[in-house]
Amino acid sequence: MYNHIIIAMALDHGYGPQAMKLAQTLLNNGGQITALHVFEEPAGSVNAFIDADVPERAFAAAKAKMADRMADVPNARGVAVKGHGGRTIVDVAQAESADLIIMGSHKPDLADFLLGSTAARVVRHAPCAVHVLRDTV
């Protein structure tokens, strides 16, 4: 059982309900769940082709979506932060003394073998246990 669980939530993937159910099962009484969405800003070269306010509007929408998803979930809060996916998840887990990270992962493709996936980076560098949910299809 765990006292502080971080669920790494990608708002465009469907692991959220499964991850939340698992977190609620593994959480100690009085524990805290942090649903964390890491918003990655567009790369520098992309910024030349979009309006300056587009990333800020997208980040505000992500924050609102997280707040909406977590509004009625007991012992949980939603957080959206800017950063690099794997590195930021590890940094937040360390800063908040989390004792478990729950995150989803897809089946690896060639790019993942060459570059590594976010889940692989988190597993390698996390300061705590990591539970990786796999897509069963």
Query: Domain span at residue 18?
Result: 2-134
31-75, pLDDT tens digit by residue? 999 999 999 888 777 766 788 788 889 999 999 999 998 999 999
pLDDT of 112 > 80? The answer is no
DSSP string covering 51-72, please? -TTHHHHHHHHHHHHHHHHHTT
**Full strand arrangement of the beta sheet holding 2-8:** 76-82, 27-39, 2-8, 100-105, 129-134
Token pair for residue 119? 């889940």
Look up the CATH number of the domain holding residue 22.
3.40.50.620
Among 2, 23, 16, 1, smallest CA distance to 76 is for 23
pLDDT mean across residues, the chain? 87
115 pLDDT above the threshold of 50: no
The domain tally of the chain equals 1
Single pTM value for the model = 0.87
